[in-house]
Chain A
Amino acid sequence: MFDVDEMIEEFLAEAQEHRAQIEELLLGMEQCAPHELSKMVNELFRAVHSIKGAAGTVELDNICDLTHAMETELSKVREGELSVSSELISALLGALDVLGSMLDHIDEQERIDTAPAIARLTCCSSGQESDTSEPQRTQECPEPESNPGTASSCEAERSGSELSAAVVETFVANSSSEGQRKSVNESIRVPVWALDSLMALAGELVLVRNRQLQSIDERLRTDRNNVSSMDRQLAQQLDLVTSEIQEAVLRTRMQPIGIAFQKLPRLCRDLANKLGKRIAYKVSGSETEVDKTILECLSDPLMHLVRNSCDHGLGAPSERSKAGKEPTGTVSVSAHQDGGQIVIRVQDDGRGIDPQRVGQKAVENGVCRPEELAGMSDKQVCMLIFSPGFSTASTVSDISGRGVGMDVVKTSIEKIGGSVDVFSKLGEGTTFSMRVPLTLAIVSSLIVRCGKSCFAIPQVNLEEVVCLHDEEVFQNVEFINNSPSYRLRGQLLPLVYLEDVLGHRDSIPKSALLERRNFFESFPPNSLTFAVVRLGTQSFGIVVDEAIGTEEIVVKPNHPILSKVRCFVGTTVLGDGRIALILDVNGVAQHASIESRFCEDGSEQETISRPKEVLSQLAFTLNGEDLCMFPLSLISRIISIYTDSIDEVGGIRTVNLDGDSIRVVDIAKHLGEPVGSDSGEMALILPRHIKRSVGFLCKRVLDIKQVEKMPSSETHLHPAILGSFVLDGKLGLMLDMFALARCEEPSWFESEKFEGDRRVIPRRVLLAEDTGFFRRVVGAYLVELGYHVEIVEDGQLAADKLRLHDHGFDVLISDLEMPNLDGFGLIEKLRRGSDWEHCRSLPAMAMSSLSSPEVQKKAIALGFDLYELKLNRESLRDSLEELLGQSRHRSHAA
C-alpha cells in the first residue's frame, strides 16, 4: 500500500514530465504544419487529461479544476469548435504556468488562485465563437497540399518553409516527443542517492582491483613460477570489467543537455512578443549527455545568454530589413562534446557587438580606465561585457540591461570549472561559447604531498608545476612584506606555503610569515616545488613538499561537519586507498589573503617600472609610544635578552652571546628618552654591516613596515634621527645605526675622520638620486667622509654633466630607480654611448634599496663596478675607498 505522501510524490514526478511535454507541444503547435496539428492536439489532450486524472486520485482539487478547464478548451479544438489561435495558446501557456507553480509548491496549491487563468481560457472560446471571420486551423482543417483553398496563401507558404526547417527545430514535436515517450517507457526512475552509492561501490571496486594488480605484480617479481597464467588472466579480466563498470556507472548520472534547453523556446517566444521582434529558435545537439550536477548549473546561464541575444543581439524587424536581413532573427543553441568537455553555443544573427561602444560604456560604467582600454584588442574589449557592473543598454528594461547577468554567467560557469568566450562580428551576429566539463564526479587532479598528507589540486585550476633546485631557489624567490614571490617569466607570482595555510585556522599570522622567511634565508632549501594555479585572471603558487603526479579522482563531497572548511571542496580516495583532500584554490587564496597581495605586488611592480622607492623597515618601540625604525637590509638578526644578563663595567654595557662579547647600545639613552629601569625581556637588534660587535637595545620589535614616503627633510634634534613621518597614525622615527654607534663610542669612527682629513685634494663624487631624503642623508655622509659631492636629481642630469670632457668627477654614485633616465640607462650611456667615450672607465657605484640579486646582477652586467644598499654607511665608505683605489691604479697604469 502506498501512503498519501508517496502517491503525491509519484504524481508530482509524472505531472512535471507531462507539464514539460505540454509546453513543448503548445509551442510547436504555433509553427507546425496543419496536417500535424490534429495529432498534436490529441497528444496535448492526453497529457492534460493524465494530470487531471492523477490529480483527482490524490485529491488535488485545485489542479483538477484547472486541468479540466484546459481539457475543455482542447476538446473544443478537437471537435472543431475552436481554432488554434495565438490567443488560445497564450491562454493555455498561462494556465500551464499556474499549474507549474502549483506543482512547485504542492503544499500550498490550494491557495493559488486559478480563476483568472480559467477565465482567460473560457474567454478565448467564447470570443472566438462569435468571430467566425478568422481563418480556421482546426483538426478538421484539410491539409493545404490537398486543398489549398481553405488555408490562406500566407499560411500555406509558412507551413512550407517551416517544414524544411522541421529537421532542426524541436518545435516539431512529433518525432522528438515520441522519442521521449519511448524512452520514458524503457526507463525507470532511480533516486540519485542510489546512483551515488553505486558510484561509491564502483570506486571501491577500483581500489580492490588496484590492490589485486599490485599483489600480482609483487608475486611476479618475487617468484615467477608462483603465478599461474590463470591468475594473470583473471587479474586482467577484473581490470577490464572494473573499468567498464566505472564508466557505466558514470554514464547513469548523465542526462541529455536538452533538459537545460527546455525553457528556452518559451523564453524566446515570450521575449519576441514583448519586444515586438520576430525570433526563430533553433536547437541542435540536445541529446548530448552531461553530468546531472553540471546540467543543473547550466540552466540559468543559458537563460541569461538567450535573453541577452533576444534583447540586445537581435534588432527589430524594421531594423533588420534595413540591414538587408530577414525580418525574422534567429537564435540558435547547440551543444556537442569535445573531448572531456561539452561545448555549448548560443548564437544570434543580430547586430553583433560593437567594440567601440562596449569600450565607451565600460569606461562610463567604471569597469575599466580609458588608458587600459587603449591597450586592448577588440576581442579583449568584447570580453569586458562579462565584467561585473557592465551594461550597454542605455535604458534599463525588465528583461535585461541592469548590468547583472553576463558576469553572473561567467562566474557560474567558472564555478563548475568551465569557461565562457564570445565571438562577434559587427552586423553579422554574436556567438557565445561555453565550455564545461562532462562530469564533476571524476576530475583529473594533481596529487601533491604536504607533510604526511596528500592533497589534490584539480587540473582545471592548475597552470603548471614549477620545481626549483639549488641556487635557483635563492636567486628567484623574493620576499615582499615577508611573503615570498617568484618571478615567473617576468611576472611576480605570489607564493603560499600550503603548510602555512593548513597550519593556521584563520589567516596566516605575520609572525608565521616572518618565521618562514627567516628560516628560508638562514637555511635555503635545496629545492622548492610549487603548483601554479589560476585565480580569475591572476595566478599564484602553492608551495608543497612534493608533486606526486596526476590522477583521475572520484570526487566525494565534504562531510557536512566540514562544510565550513573553505580550503577543501571535497575528498577523494587515492589509488592506494589513502584519503586526499581536494583543495579549493579560491579558499586557499582567501585564507592566504592572496587578493591583497596582488595589490601589494602590483605596487611593488610599479616601483620597478616607476621611480618610486619602498624601504623595508624594521619597526620597534623604545619605552614610549613612538615607533622607531632601522632599514631591514642592515639587520642581521634579532634576539631577545633579559636586562639582567647585561654586564656593566665602567659604563660600558656588554652582553655575552655565543662566546662573543657584544657592546650594547641603548637607543633610548642616546635619544634622550626615559631609560627603562625595570628588568625584563628586551630585544637586541644585531646589525649586519657594522664590523664591531654591537647590538642595539630596544623594548620590543613590532613588525616590518614598507615605507614608501621618505621622511621630510626638516632638521632633527638628534644626529641619529634621519627623519620622521606618520605611519598608521603614529609618529615614526627613522634612525641612523651608525650615528647611534658613534654616540656610543666616538673612537670607533676616528680613523674615518683621519682618513678624510688626510686627503689633500678632496675627491669629487657625482651623486644621482631622485629621493630628497636619500640625497640629504647620503650627501651629508659623503661630505662627512671628506668627499666633495655634487648632487643631481635624475639620470639624465647626471648624463648631461658627465658629457663634458672636463667634468672632473672621480666617481659616480647612482640610484637605480629614477625618473627621466634611470640608473640602468645612465650606465648604459656611460659605458657604451658615443658621447661618453671619456667616461668608459669612470668608477660607478649603483645604490639601491632593492636587495634582489637579479637587480644586482643586472646592474653589474650593465657596467656598474659595485652595488651598494642604501643607508649602509660603513659599506659605502669601504666600497668608495676600494673604487677610488682601483681607479688610482687604473690611471697609474694608463
Chain B
Amino acid sequence: MSDSALMADKRQLCTFSSGDGCYAVDVLDVREVNTETDVTPVSHAPKGVRGLVNVRGQVFLIFDIGLLLGYGTSGVSEKSRLVLFKERVGPTFGILVDAVGDILEFRTSELVTRRRSEALVANEHDPNAHTEMDGLIRGVCKFEEQLVVLLEPRRLLEV
C-alpha cells in the first residue's frame, strides 16, 4: 500500500457514549463539542428531535441519539455534551450524548460494515428503531477490546 493510500485510509473518530454503547462520528464532521445542555423542546417536532439550543446566538437543532438508537430518551448529567456538526454536514444541528470520549484513529479498511455486523448491532431494545434509522450506522470497528459503532450524522436529517 502506498503512503498516500495509507493517508486516505486513516481517519480520526470522535467517540462518545450513549445508553450502554460507545459510538463515534468522523472528527472532520464535528464543529464543536459543547457543555450547554439546556435544550428547549419543540412541540410537534419529528420523533428523535430533542429540541433547540442557543450556542452563542446560533440556534442548533438537537437530536436525541439515545431515542433514535432505541435506548429511550437520554438523561442529562454533568457529563452530557452536545456534539455539533459542521455546516457542510447539514444546517445547524447536533446530537445530545451522555459523555464524550477520546479521539481514536482507525483505518477505514478496518471498518466492519453494517451488513456483516448486523448481528452485532441489532438492537434488542427496539427493533423498529433499527429499521427506522437504517443507514445511521455506518459500521463497527474494534479498539482494543471495545467495539465502537460509527454513525453517519447526515442520515439524521433524512428523518
Contact = CB atoms under 8 A, between A and B. Distances in A.
Interface in B25-79: 38, 40-46, 49, 52-54, 56-59, 61
A561 B3 CA distance: 41
Contacts of B54: 573, 577-579
Given A505-B44, A561-B46, A573-B59, A579 B53 contact: yes
Nearest to A451: B41
Contact of A562 (B49, B53, B57, B58): B49
Give the interface size bracket for A toward B: 20 to 34
Interface centre among A503, A567, A573, A578 (most CB of B within 10 A): A573
Interface string B133-159: 000000000000000000000000101
Contacts of B41: 453
Contacts of B43: 501-503, 505, 565, 567
B86 to A, nearest CB: 14
Contact of A567 (B38, B44, B92): B44
A556 B55 CA distance: 13
A432 B96 CA distance: 53
A562 B45 contact: yes
Contact of B61 (A453, A503, A561, A580): A561
A303 interface: no
B91 to A, nearest CB: 6
A100 to B, nearest CB: 33
A339 interface: no
A565 B57 contact: no
B57 A204 contact: yes
A581 B58 contact: no
Contacts of B46: 561-562, 564
B93 A453 contact: no
Interface in B76-131: 91-93
A204 B42 contact: no
Majority DSSP secondary structure for residues of A touching B: mixed
Nearest to B53: A579
A561 B49 contact: yes
Nearest to A502: B43
A147 B44 CA distance: 77
Contacts of A201: 57
Nearest to A205: B57
Contacts of A562: 42, 45-46, 49, 61
B40 A565 contact: no
Contacts, number: 66
Given A559-B91, A562-B45, A578 B40 contact: yes
A21 interface: no
Contacts of A505: 43-44
Contacts of A502: 43-44
Interface string A556-584: 10011110111110010100011111000
B141 to A, nearest CB: 29
A560 B92 CA distance: 10
Interface in A531-548: none
Contacts of A205: 57
Interface centre among B40, B42, B43, B157 (most CB of A within 10 A): B43
Given A502-B43, A565-B44, A559 B59 contact: yes
Contacts of A577: 54
A422 interface: no
Interface in B1-44: 38, 40-44
A508 to B, nearest CB: 12
B58 A579 contact: no
A573 B42 contact: no
A141 interface: no
Given A559-B93, A561-B49, A562-B45, A204 B58 contact: yes
A561 B157 contact: yes
Interface string A704-723: 00000000000000000000
A404 interface: no
A581 B92 CA distance: 16
B132 to A, nearest CB: 15
B45 A204 contact: no
Contacts of B52: 559, 571, 579, 581
Contact of B57 (A203, A453, A503, A567): A203
B1 to A, nearest CB: 33
A565 B91 contact: no
A207 interface: yes
Contacts of A632: none
A596 B61 CA distance: 34
Contacts of B42: 562, 565, 568, 581
B59 A571 contact: yes
A571 B57 CA distance: 11
A245 interface: no
A565 B61 CA distance: 14
A505 B38 CA distance: 23
Interface of B: 38, 40-46, 49, 52-54, 56-59, 61, 91-93, 157, 159
28 contacts: A201-B57, A203-B57, A204-B56, A204-B57, A205-B57, A453-B40, A501-B43, A559-B59, A559-B91, A560-B91, A561-B45, A561-B49, A561-B93, A561-B159, A562-B46, A562-B61, A564-B46, A565-B43, A567-B43, A568-B42, A571-B52, A573-B57, A573-B59, A578-B54, A579-B52, A579-B53, A579-B59, A581-B52
For the complex of A and B, list the 10 residue pairs with the smallest distance between their C-beta atoms, beginning with the closest. A204-B57, A502-B43, A579-B40, A559-B61, A565-B44, A203-B57, A573-B54, A579-B52, A571-B59, A579-B54
Given A204-B58, A505-B43, A565-B44, 9 more contacts: A200-B58, A502-B43, A559-B52, A559-B61, A561-B93, A561-B157, A561-B159, A577-B54, A581-B52
